[in-house]
């Protein structure tokens, strides 16, 4: 996460003090010390970067320190246990890079979080907003950011930097000019929300819902709710927690909140929310009014209308006008692959024919709740042609995976799809449902990541040969299956889409 300014994000003393570290190297004056960006990946290191090599399951980032130094890193965190067994190696690096400083810490991840936490305190006037939930958090973040930009100078999470490392990296984008920070918070283990909430300490926070995402790790929806509500821990009496009233854990999430609690969603009365639903425009989204002003939401599905209600509730609390809310919602642009419906011209099929099809790529969040919402939405869509679904594994579901994928199979065969392609080891359960339900237009591929992408090419060629002008193609899977490759291979332009 970078910075074009030459001004150091923190002073030398602040950096060392924030992590309670000891340092070696750097023989210059502390006033000459500068770091203007932070990276955990050596490929992202530029001049004056603070490099934080992390130790993962498969590799140790410390081995990339020489590469980071060659690229101009000015400071590096080193885990003490690693430094102690390689002292000579690091002292040799110091002697060859006179301006470098190695800061020895107990744990590099904790040090990254601690220095990020300290950095946030440099901006006491910043309105800090945290957003989490089992699904919808990225959409709510983008809607909220788009609305708030109508009034404030806003900094927000980019991409998927919402984790134990991503959130700390994201906050280093904050600058003096920013008035509001909107940060997404994800998790895939116990207490991850607690750790990153401690870094940001949001004044306002939204929980979109409590679903089954990561239930294989946390064990139950109640455990997920317990983890998610940690985002509210640092809200003071002037802050506010925003909770979907229809969620069955709504009351539990509100327990212990010190600030005010605002409930949002369709179950909140029009008088309270000032929102009135007008009509569903299918793939083109929906139309509703806020305080009597008609607003067009371009994102399809009732669940995206709920996401918009979350963003409206927060914007209303922060005093944005109905015209500002309208402008923000109608101009929102989601990251590629999230609830994105586009028209594409396909590459030629086996007969050399190209088709105009509608492609819906939703391949970032694939927990059971999100999957069902998308299938229900696609089932209700009125399309010119047939529906073709390519459904991939939902990951990290643990013991509930068989049940969840079986339910996807049950929902998918009732969806009105003409062809369904199931992909992944877990999707075999869904495919088995289709076969026993006598749904004959079903195909199954166990692994999309085989050598030379043979399976990937089979899937793409099947869609090309089967599809006709006006058909609708859904791509839905966990991000780990990298279904975006399918859309790029289908498209004659290799990824240039015509937004609906």
Segment-wise mean pLDDT, segments of 10 residues, the chain, 500 residues = 68 95 77 91 95 90 94 95 93 87 95 97 97 91 97 91 91 97 90 94 96 73 93 96 96 96 92 92 90 94 92 97 98 73 89 92 81 88 90 87 94 94 96 94 88 88 94 91 89 56
Q: Where are the domains of the chain?
A: 12-108, 123-330, 340-499
H or E stretch at 378: helix 368-380
* pLDDT at residue number 3: 45
pTM of the entire predicted model: 0.84
What pLDDT does residue 493 have? 66
Token digits of residue 191? 């207490």
Q: In what order do the strands lie in the sheet with 260-264?
A: 154-156, 180-184, 127-132, 204-207, 240-244, 260-264
pLDDT for residue 28: 58
* pLDDT value at residue 497: 46
Indicate the CATH number for domain 12-108. 3.40.1390.10
pLDDT at 373: 86
Question: Does domain 123-330 fall into CATH 3.40.1190.10?
Answer: yes
Looking at domain 340-499, its CATH architecture is Alpha-Beta Complex (3.90)
State the DSSP code for 4. Answer: S
Q: Could you give the angle at the alpha carbon of 206 between the alpha carbons of 200 and 209, nearest 5°?
A: 125
Q: Which sign does the torsion angle of CA 482, 298, 158, 490 carry?
A: positive
How many angstroms separate the CA atoms of 350 and 353, rounded?
7
Residues 6+ apart with CB under 8 A from 213: 134, 135, 224, 365, 367, 369, 370, 396
Provide the pLDDT for residue 135.
85
What is the reported pLDDT for 189? 83
């Amino acid at each position: 996460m970078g910075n074009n300014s030459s001004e150091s994000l923190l002073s030398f003393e602040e950096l060392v003090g924030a992590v309670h570290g000891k340092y070696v190297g750097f023989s210059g004056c502390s006033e000459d010390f500068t770091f203007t960006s932070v990276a955990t990946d050596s490929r992202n290191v530029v001049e004056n970067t603070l490099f934080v090599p992390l130790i993962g399951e498969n590799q140790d980032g410390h081995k990339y320190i020489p590469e980071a130094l060659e690229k101009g890193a000015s400071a590096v965190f080193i885990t003490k246990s690693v430094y102690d067994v390689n002292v000579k190696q690091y002292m040799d690096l110091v002697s060859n890079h006179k301006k470098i400083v190695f800061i020895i810490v107990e744990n590099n991840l904790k040090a990254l979080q601690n220095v990020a936490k300290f950095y946030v305190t440099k901006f006491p006037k910043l309105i800090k907003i945290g957003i989490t939930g089992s699904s919808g958090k990225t959409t709510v973040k983008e809607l909220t950011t788009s609305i708030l930009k109508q009034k404030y100078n806003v900094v927000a999470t980019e991409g998927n930097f919402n984790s134990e490392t991503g959130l700390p990296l994201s906050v280093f984008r904050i600058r003096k000019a920013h008035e509001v920070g909107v940060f997404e918070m994800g998790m895939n283990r116990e207490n991850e929300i607690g750790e990153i909430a401690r870094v940001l300490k949001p004044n306002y926070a939204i929980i979109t819902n409590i679903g089954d995402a990561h239930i294989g790790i946390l064990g139950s929806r109640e455990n997920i709710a317990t983890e998610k509500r940690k985002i509210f821990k640092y809200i003071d009496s002037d802050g506010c927690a925003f909770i979907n009233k229809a969620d069955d854990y709504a009351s539990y999430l509100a327990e212990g909140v010190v600030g005010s609690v605002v409930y949002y969603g369709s179950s909140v009365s029009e008088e309270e929310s000032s929102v009135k639903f007008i009509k569903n425009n299918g793939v083109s989204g929906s139309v509703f009014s806020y305080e009597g002003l008609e607003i067009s939401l371009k994102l399809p599905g009732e669940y995206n209308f709920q996401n918009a209600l979350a963003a409206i509730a927060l914007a209303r609390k922060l005093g944005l006008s109905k015209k500002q809310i309208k402008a923000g919602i109608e101009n929102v642009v989601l990251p590629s692959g999230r609830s994105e419906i586009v028209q594409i011209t396909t590459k030629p099929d086996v007969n050399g024919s190209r088709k105009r099809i509608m492609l819906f790529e939703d391949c970032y969040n694939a927990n059971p709740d999100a999957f069902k919402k998308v299938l229900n939405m696609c089932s209700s869509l009125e399309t010119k042609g047939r529906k073709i679904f390519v459904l991939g594994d939902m990951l990290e579901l643990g013991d509930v995976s068989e049940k969840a994928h079986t339910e996807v199979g049950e929902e998918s065969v009732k969806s009105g799809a003409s062809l369904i392609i199931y992909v992944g080891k877990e999707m075999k359960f869904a495919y088995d449902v289709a076969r026993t339900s006598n749904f004959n237009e079903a195909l199954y591929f166990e692994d999309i990541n085989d050598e030379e992408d043979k399976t990937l090419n089979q899937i793409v060629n099947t869609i090309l040969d089967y599809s006709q002008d006006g058909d609708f193609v859904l791509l839905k899977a966990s991000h780990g299956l990298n279904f975006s490759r399918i859309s790029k291979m289908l498209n004659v332009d290799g990824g240039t889409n015509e937004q609906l």
